[in-house]
Structure formats: C-alpha cells, structure tokens
Amino acid sequence: METTTNSTTETQQSEKPSRTLKDYAGLTARGFAMGASDVVPGVSGGTMAFILGIYEELITSIRDLLSPTAIKLLLRFKIKAALEVLPWKFLVAVGIGILLAILSLARFLEWTLINYPSLLWSFFFGLVTASIFTVTKRVKSWNVKTISATAIGAIASYLLVGMVPVQTPDSAWFLFLSGAIAICAMILPGISGAFVLVLLGKYEYVLSAVNNGDFMVLFWVALGAAVGIVTFAQILGWLFNRYHDMTVAVLIGMMIGSLRKIWPWKEVVRYGTDRHGAQVPIELNNVLPDAWTTEITLALILALVGFSLVFAIDYWASRKEKVETKVAAQAEA
C-alpha cells in the first residue's frame, strides 16, 4: 500500500515552484495543447497534460483551490494573503491556453473532423500511443497489482468509448450536469470530455454554442464544469498522494482503452438523427483501409509525427528536470 502522512501531503501541496515569465508562457502553450485535445471527441486533455508533464501539478493545484487556509483568508477579505497561498498563476496560465485553443480551433477541428477525419485521428493516435510508453516511467514499481490496475483501466475505457450516444434534453440542469461529468472525464487521461458530451448528446450542441456565441448555454456548461473539476480533483489528488503507482497505472490503462475510439479508419454501422433532423453516424466499427491511397500515406506520416513529438517533448522535459535537480542540489550545497 502506498501511503504518506498528512503533514507530508500538506507540505507537497504548499510547495509552488519558482517560475519566470518564459515558464508561464510555456504553461500557456501546454494549456493550448490541452484545449486543442479537449475539442476533439476521443482525445483527452488529461492525456495531453500527462504527455507535457504537468498532470499531477494540475490536479494538486485544482485541489488546492479548496485549501482551508485560503478559504479562511478570503472570508477575512485578506485577498493578497489568499493569493499567496493559492496556485492561481499556474492555473491562470494553463487556463488561458485552454480557452484560447477552444475559441480559436473549434471551427477548424469541427471542419477537419467532417472533411479529413482519418488524418486528424491518425495524428492523435500517434500522440496517445507514444504517451502510453512515456507515462509508464512514472510508475516506480511494476508488479501484479499495478499491471492488474492497468488492465482494469483499459477494459473500462474500452467499453466506455464503445457506447452509443443518447438523445437528451437541452435544459439548464442537464447542461450543468453535462459540464460536470465532461470535465471529470476531461482531466482523466484516456477519457475524452468531448466524447462524454457526445455520449450525452451534447457535443454538437455545445460546439455550436461556442461557434455561435450562445453564452447562456456556455454559462451552464461552464458552471457545471467548475463545480465538477474542483470536486473531482479532491478525490484524484487524494489518490495520487496515497496510491500513486496504482492511480497512474489505472490512468495508463484508460489511455490504452481509448485507442479504440481514435483508430483512424472506421465504417458506419448505424445512423441516427440529430436535433436538426439530419442523419449522423452514431455507431462505428474500426476497420483496416481497403487500398493504399495518398490519404493513408498522409495519415501514417501524421501518426509518426504525433508519435515522435511526444518522445521529443519527453526527452526535453527529462533534460530540463535533470538540470533543475542539479541546480537545486548545488544551491543546497
């Protein structure tokens, strides 16, 4: 069993790394990559956070928003003191990147999914496949328990992404609920928040609201997301602190299972009717391409680019971590 004392946990949560303006710009860029992933139904922003090395800090930072110390200071209107406790700089930097990506890429990704789905899915397939290999290094000890946890996560994710979307209401309470559920999935590697919206019958509705500036719809979804993410982060943060390897192993399994959803080539098994009365595919099977075409060549190139990009980022992050560790050791000496 992997446990830590409460005092150690509090110390870890209170530690905030010293960052320069360049570092925060880098966090915004990572947030942008997360936001771009979140728009696509099948790719998780949590997976991207894992790939980019900010996942655990993201969960801890969200969890710290309900820090008792910060809440007491805010109730006493000691705003400046509360901000010193809260990891707001990290969250704002990442949040700005996510928001910029959603607002700027929603139309492009919607168009790409309609016109060149296999190319987009190929790129993300390469990203997620490579990330499975790189994230395994975060499990300190692979044993029967962690391998079993990975298998359970993979099976659960595989079954979830194979579900068929349902028809649901457009009322405020359901939009709130959709936002809360989707955001929980969004921060879980392997489970796409956008895909959860697809399952709930709200992906097209919310994407249309983003593109058309329907702020009332976006308000209820965002409110649900805010409540959901802060609540869920408490649970996930607790699991990381006490059962780190098991938690990471389950998340790796979820990424493995999610490959079912983002396989580039599919055939439509069943169509359904959207809220506009148009026929849309709702159930698909993964297939192999019938013949070699230019599009398949491009798809494979994009998959290789995505695969290589993850390993390049992982190599860069590892080198940076080694340098920072060396500097810290020299400072202590």
Give me the residue spans of the domains in the chain.
19-328
| Mean pLDDT calculated for residue range 234-244 | 84
pTM exceeds cut of 0.85: no
Residue 137 vs residue 204, higher pLDDT? 137
Find which of 40-54, 199-213, 236-250, 311-325 is predicted with most confidence, using mean pLDDT: 236-250
* 12: confidence class by pLDDT, cuts 50, 70, 90: very low
Residue 282 vs residue 142, higher pLDDT? 142
Residue 298 vs residue 279, higher pLDDT? 298
Checking if the pLDDT of 11 tops 60, the result is: no
What's the length of the chain? Answer: 333
Contact 187, 45 (CB under 8 A): yes
Contact 303, 126 (CB under 8 A): yes
Q: What pLDDT, on a 0 to 100 scale, did the predictor assign at position 4?
A: 43
Please give the C-alpha separations between residue 203 and each of 193, 222, 277, in angstroms, as whole numbers: 9, 14, 16
304: enclosing H helix or E strand: helix 294-332
The set of residues, in sequence order, having a beta carbon less than 8 Å from that of 43 and lying 6+ positions away, is 37, 124, 127, 128, 192, 194, 258, 262
